[in-house]
Structure 1
Amino acid sequence: MTQRPPLPPDLFDELCPSSLVPFRFGDKWAPMILRCLDDGPRRFSELRVPLRRVTQKVLTASLRGLEANGFVSRTVHPDPKLRVEYALTPLGRSVLEPLDAACRWTTEHWDELLDARENAENGAAPAS
């Protein structure tokens, strides 16, 4: 058996940049929210339309997480009827390109992903 080089010791260190991704961006709905905000600010009710499968509570928590980590800004407009809008920050906008690359990759490999999932559910060995 060929000996492989050891993994970097700081790979999972909390200060390692790669370790921040799952914690800062690990929410299932975060990528979809960011894509919804790509063309400009949106109100909560506008986000609920394309994200109809997410509950109000989870969407609120996701938006708060994105805001706390600098991806999204929240602006309260004190009009006669209180209006809140969410928008991408420059940091949030900067993640759209890698997010789009991940979406393209997923589209290109969709059939393989579905096959792998089906095999796993049926207890079959993964394809090599």
Structure 2
Amino acid sequence: MAVVVGYAGNDEGRAALARAAAEASLRGTSLLVVDTGREPTPAAELAAALDALDVEHEVVPPGPVRDAAEEVIAAAAGAELVVIGLRRRSSVGKLILGANATRILLESPCPVITVKPPAPAR
């Protein structure tokens, strides 16, 4: 069983990747990285992020349809945990969770952890 992470090359994706790597290490399992960005993450960028982690990993390339939620849910079959990043939202935005995050939370066959990147310094 692996820890699955939905990764996009943004602050939320980097926060999710760091937490997922920590969870995989704690659980003694591998990391399955699903590239969920609107555009595929450049291979060199993703390789650099993964090389900095001390955990066995595999990358699931983006599917032809680019349905991020569906790709994460499919990868989660048999997984131990899913980790996704969420962006900070305004007061009104907090009433609505993103469509992909909502689908993953509701349809994942295993527990889901959501993380946010650190707050910007004020």
Q: TM-score, normalised by structure 1?
A: 0.27
Structure with more of its chain in helix, by fraction: 1
